[in-house]
Copies of this chain bind each other. A is one copy, B any other.
Amino acid sequence: MTVTIRQIAEKAGVSRGTVDRVLNGRPGVKPQIRERIMAIAHELNYVPNMAAKALALNKNPVKFGVVMPPKEIAFFGEVRSGITAAAEELKDFGIAVEYRYVDNRRPEEGAAAIGQLIGEGVSGILVSLMDDELIRARINDAAAQGIPVVTFNSDVGESKRVCFVGQDLYRSGQIAAGLMRRMLRGKARVLVLASSMSFQAHRSRVNGFRDVLSGTEMEIVQLIQSYDRYADTHSQVSDALARHTDLDGIYMATGDVAGCLDAVMRAGLGGKLRMVCNDLLPEVEQWLRQGLIDFTIMQNPLRQGYTSLRIMYDLIFSGKRPESEYLYTETSIIIPECLERNP
């Protein structure tokens, strides 16, 4: 029924060892034989048996490296749980995972970590780091040595990574707009808050939001960039609230949610404006429950972690390349009723 390496060997008139070499791209086989074996494998529709592979690899498991921000940051803790969940499932299947936690504000740290992992002979690397020249260079180094890299949660654009696993930011902007529309029917005026439009990643959400609203009577009265700084956010939002007294809602695409909310409260507008933000930081959960924020749009950090490791596993063990360069994890709409713990 299922075709094995041995059958290929017999049909090709060579030994299992040789077939193994060919199938795993190891050196030291005459090109002719190599081709013949490949042809036969193809013809017979050979699919390697994972269990057997795993068992044989048991002694020196394949090592994967992970470089990410410290797991103490709540969000990344979740991501890591996803990775460990996948690792747990695959524990018996010949893999080991090596984590490196780095300060994401210091690209040289991340780059160094990647370099180290390459040195240690890992077979693949998962990377969640800022989009920086140093990082990109190391990713390309790895790729050049045949070590696949998968970026997760935040992509490193233009690099030679195999794929990116994370949120579709543009879509999350679209969804935010859809929610606003459903709350504010017809003519309405909204404020948009972003940390900075100069990064592609930050722009995407705003673009998604804008594109959906462009077909409606709703209007974006102002776009605030406050670089994630509380004081900056607070003062800019306060100004905007004073200027646009007829405001109906605020979309916090990125940036400091606390600064924005405090400004709204101080202006005595708590609960009067429709507010949509992203992710589920503890403060946000509070505000959601209090009705100060209406919706938050969430990434699924757990699945981001889980998926990235599985992708890497499938890539290394079955040579299965991901279906697309961008693997978007679901983004979900959250209201407090989603969070209740029911009996």
Inter-chain contact A295/B182, CB cutoff 8 Å: yes
Give the shortest distance, in Å, between A10 (CB) and chain B (any CB): 19
Return the chain B residue nearest A174 by Cβ: B337
Q: Per-position contact with B for A91-126: 1 when CB-CB < 8 Å, else 0?
A: 011100000000000000000000000000000000
Interface residue range, chain A: 20 to 34
**B-side contacts of A55, CB under 8 Å:** 49, 51-52, 55
| A331–B330 CA distance with the chains assembled, in angstroms | 12
Asked if A336 is an interface residue, CB under 8 A from chain B, the answer is: yes
**B-side contacts of A177, CB under 8 Å:** 337
Could you tell me which residues of chain A, from 209 to 232, have a CB within 8 Å of some CB in chain B?
212
**B-side contacts of A170, CB under 8 Å:** 342
Asked if A5 is an interface residue, CB under 8 A from chain B, the answer is: no
Give the shortest distance, in Å, between A53 (CB) and chain B (any CB): 8
Asked if A171 is an interface residue, CB under 8 A from chain B, the answer is: yes
- Partner of A51 from the list B54, B175, B179, B335 (CB cut-off 8 Å) is B54
- Partner of A332 from the list B51, B94, B178, B332 (CB cut-off 8 Å) is B332
Q: Is the interface of A mostly helix, strand, loop or mixed?
A: helix
**B-side contacts of A295, CB under 8 Å:** 182
Which among A50, A52, A330, A337 has the highest number of chain B CB atoms within 10 Å?
A337
**A182-B295, A295-B182, A342-B170 known; A51 vs B337 contact (CB < 8 Å):** no
Inter-chain contact A335/B178, CB cutoff 8 Å: yes
**B-side contacts of A58, CB under 8 Å:** 49, 51
| A135–B52 CA distance with the chains assembled, in angstroms | 39
Asked if A294 is an interface residue, CB under 8 A from chain B, the answer is: yes
Asked if A39 is an interface residue, CB under 8 A from chain B, the answer is: no
**B-side contacts of A144, CB under 8 Å:** none
Add 13 more A-B contacts to A51-B93, A177-B337, A182-B182 (CB < 8 A). A49-B55, A49-B58, A50-B51, A50-B92, A51-B51, A51-B54, A51-B55, A51-B58, A175-B335, A182-B294, A182-B335, A333-B333, A333-B338
